[in-house]
Amino acid sequence: MTQREALKNFTGYMKSHNIPYVKDEDDGCPQYTMQYRADNAPDGYVESCIWFYEKDNAEVRVYYNATGAEICKNSEYRDVLLQLLNYINARVFLSDRNAYGLYEPHMLYTPRMCMTVDGYYDLTITTIVNYDFWEVAPIETLDYMTCYCPELLDKLSCPVFSVLSGQNTVEEAVTYIDNNILK
């Protein structure tokens, strides 16, 4: 699959599912930005950007909005959050075949959660999507980008922001994840 084919597949999916988006360019690279309802996230939504690189890959980032980034920036518990992010990256995958059909999304792609180091303190789930693999599993790839990643970030809101506010320790947040997200 080429960049052009991926863009056509993506925009067709977005239109057929009535998902609004904003098209832009970032250093000549097509960039699409979306917002998704996320009841547990600050202000009730998360955002997503997808960059369609000319060669081989697209980059998917789903992140908390500016309010979430501001909470992270102002928190004195960011170092504790990094411990939680290590746990999330090692152990947390949504697993619900009933919601996603015959496959589990983490079998196709592996999201990574991090705090950006650009001074904005964005908390983001990032995935690199290879165009050749996208061609093999187009619907699953699009579902992953527009459903799975926003849902995962929303479900992680409670433990992430409880750690950032100092209300919970890493251990308490891990217990919450084990009992409420991974069950």
Residue 83: CB atoms within 10 A of its CB come to: 16
Q: Which pLDDT tens digits describe the chain residue by residue (183 residues)?
A: 999 999 999 999 999 999 999 999 999 999 999 999 999 999 999 999 999 999 899 999 999 999 999 999 999 999 999 999 999 999 887 665 445 455 565 567 888 999 999 889 999 999 999 999 999 999 989 999 999 899 999 999 999 999 999 999 999 999 999 999 887
Is the pTM higher than 0.85? The answer reads yes
The architecture that CATH gives domain 3-69+96-154 is: Alpha-Beta Complex (3.90)
Nearest alpha carbon to residue 84 among 28, 146, 158, 31: 158
Domain ranges in the chain are 3-69+96-154
